Structure 1
Amino acid sequence: MSKNLQYLVIHCTDTPAGRKVSADDIKRWHTSPAPIGNGWSQVGYTDMIHLDGEVERLVDNNEDNTVDPWEITNGAKGINSVSRHIVYVGGKGGDTRTDAQKKALEDYVKDFHKRFPPVKIIGHNEVAAKACPSFDVQKWLKSIGL
């Protein structure tokens, strides 16, 4: 059953600055059985922002304001069925976003907000006891005029 989209959750991969991460890495970390991965049925993110600012789709969705069962990712326990998740590569030890990632994330979030104004944009750390995404999303949103 589809549910109304309520959140866009911003994440980091929790990898060191400058370390490249591929879609295959994310899939392995999230869906492989322990001890290699988390053993989840689906990855945690809809989209990933690479170091060079490229945005890669990890899980298809129909770009509307509902979350269909096939669109659910495992990004934030308890709200996945009403959320989309975006991750930037990096974030271990602090905000490691490159200038290209900052621009890509800003463009992505502004476009998302324009299309879905009622959707709340949050950092993973706002719904879980984690540092992810290693920056204050609410402060950042204000700095970009949202």
Structure 2
Amino acid sequence: MRKIDKIILHCAATPEGKDYTVAQIDQWHRARGFNGIGYHLVIYRDGSVHPGRSLSKAGAHCTGQNANSIGVCYIGGCASDGKTPKDTRTPAQRTALASLVKDLLRQYPGATVHGHNEFAAKACPSFNVKSWLPTVGIKQ
């Protein structure tokens, strides 16, 4: 079993208001040479949480951090132009993300929560994870 010490939050970098699926992300990642979707969990715009890569396997979502982390991605993260970073989380996604992160922290005590942008020069997940955590009752 992998030792998990980080939960890393991502956005799909897709335009606001548009739905995408795990299967589509899987196709995108395979086209980039991955052996399947790199994220472990994906939150759709309706707040439903869908499995991606098995939690038992290292992800392909954050260079240098994959071995001991879980990658969580929400659909969205860009303005309607598909390029400009924007926090596009729906109310349902916000609720689901908070609940999911709390559940994962219970399963993996001692893990810390991060935005992808803490490890890469990217806007992803298009919101400040460190300032969001206390607003949903998560202390680091």
The answer to whether TM tops 0.5 is: yes
* Matching residue within 113, 116, 130 for 2:108: 116
Unaligned runs of 5+ in 2: 79-84
Describe how 1:28-39 pairs up with structure 2 within 5 A: 28-32=27-31, 38-39=32-33
Q: Which position in structure 1 is the counterpart of 2:81? A: none
Matched, 1:76 2:75: no
> Does 2:89 match 1:105?
no
Tell me the residue number matched to 1:4: 3
The match for 1:95 among 79, 87, 90 is 87
4+ residue runs over 4 A deviation:
none
For the residues of structure 1 that align with 2:114 and 2:126, how far apart are their CA atoms?
Answer: 12
TM-score by length of 1: 0.86
Query: How far off its partner does 1:3 sit?
Result: 4.1
1:66-118 CA-partner distances (Å, limit 9, x unpaired): xx5xx111000011011110100000121000000000001001111122220
Unmatched 5+ residue regions in structure 1? 33-37, 62-67
Residue matched to 1:50: 44
Aligned residues: 132
Shift of 1:59: 1.7
Amino acid at match of 2:70: R
* CA RMSD after TM alignment: 1.2
Q: Under a length normalisation based on structure 2, what TM-score does the superposition of the two structures give?
A: 0.89
Identity percentage of aligned residues: 37
